[in-house]
Structure formats: C-alpha cells, structure tokens
Structure 1
Amino acid sequence: MDAGFFQWSAHLAEALQGYNDVVLINECDWGVKLKQRTFLQCLGPSARWFAGALDSRPTSIEGARALFLHVTHPTDWMRILPRPQPAYAERVLLVDPKHGISAAAAKQSLHRHWHKESA
C-alpha cells in the first residue's frame, strides 16, 4: 500500500512523544470509510494516539467537531492542515503538503503551540 497521506505518521509520532494526553481525530472524508484496523495499521507508530474519525461531510463536520469537543472537554486542541481554514484559524498548524509534519518548522510550531502557556 502506498503510504500516501500516512507517509508522515512516524514523524507525527516523533513530534508527539511525551504528550500522553493527546488524541488524534481524523476529519477527512476518506477517514470514515477506512476500517479502524486499517487506519491503525496505516498510522504506524502514531496509532497509539488515534481516537477515531469524525463524519466530515460538509453538512455535518462542524456539528461532529462541536459534539466531540463538548463531550471530551479538552483543555487545548489543534488541527494540522496543509492550507489555512477560516474556522478556528488560531488552532490550525499549517504544514507544507510535500513535507507534512516531517519539517523541522512544523515540529517546532507544534511544540510551541503546546507550550504557549509557559512562554
């Protein structure tokens, strides 16, 4: 299987080391179509943080995200995306689609986000 979207999962696992209270949620439309077992295999070492996939149809994603946030009450959260999004822009970690989370700048931004309170 071509790594495709999952080619950066080892880098994501590296970036998340030490963050034991993090969970990963997939919001991509293809994510809800994959079986949980397949998703976990594709995520490789970052699978330990995976909590599931949200229904990402345009008519339901905002409601699904809002319900998830309401139920879990996270103290902080963010989205990792290749392009800016107007909704929750302050919670978006932009990554170059060709390098994903493997880029040093992306890893540093992730680290700064989680440590902004202590800065």
Structure 2
Amino acid sequence: MDIVLWIIAALLALAFLGAGIMKLSQSKEKLAASGMAWTEDFGAGTIKLIGALEVLAAIGLVLPAVLDIVPVLVPLAALGLVLVMIGAIVVHARRRETQAIGINVVLLLLAAVVAWGRFGPYAF
C-alpha cells in the first residue's frame, strides 16, 4: 500500500503542479478562453492564490517525504487539496458544470486516500 500511496501522491502532485503553474502564469482572460469559464466569477488575485495553493500542495505531497524533513506535511498537503476540491465542486455545482464536478470528485478521493494513508496506517 505504501507504493500505491507514493504513486497516487506523485500523480496528484503532477496534476496540481501543472494546473497551479497554468493559473499563475496565464491571465484571467486567457484561462477563461481556454475552457476555464469559472474564472469569470473570480478576481485575478483569487485565481493566482488558487494556483499558488495548488503548487504548494503539489510540492508538499512529495518533497517532505523524499527529503525526510517534516513528513507530516504530506498528509496535510493532501488534506489541503481535499479542501480545495470541495471548493471547486461547490463552484462548479453553482455554475452547473457537471463534467468538471466528476474530475474534482476523483481528485478529492485520491487526495483523501493519501491523507488517510499518511495520517494513519502508512505514516512515515
């Protein structure tokens, strides 16, 4: 199970690192034009904040365990992503974007598995 948790954490880290960098590096208008219609409901600063949180969580999912420095940050990062995904589900539900909700639920469940495993029976 330890290997499964590593794989899930690495995949989540890659996904959120890419998503976060995209939100940090592109303008609100460009993000909206590329299919992220939800950005119309938020200010540019809020979008950048979400991107920064995603990048920090991606780093926190892997780096503390690899370096063996404060490895408790791994499940905390996963828990943070669970909260981000709950927020994303709420936003997409309000906008009736059902396809995006499915992706958010999958990411939420994967992050919850990492949080459960690293807080519980497979802690570092």
What is the TM-score of this pair, normalised by structure 2?
A: 0.26
Structure index of larger Rg = 2
**Higher share of residues assigned helix:** 2
**Higher share of residues assigned strand:** 1
What is the TM-score of this pair, normalised by structure 1?
A: 0.26
Structure with more relative contact order (C-alpha pairs < 8 Å, separation 6 or more):
2
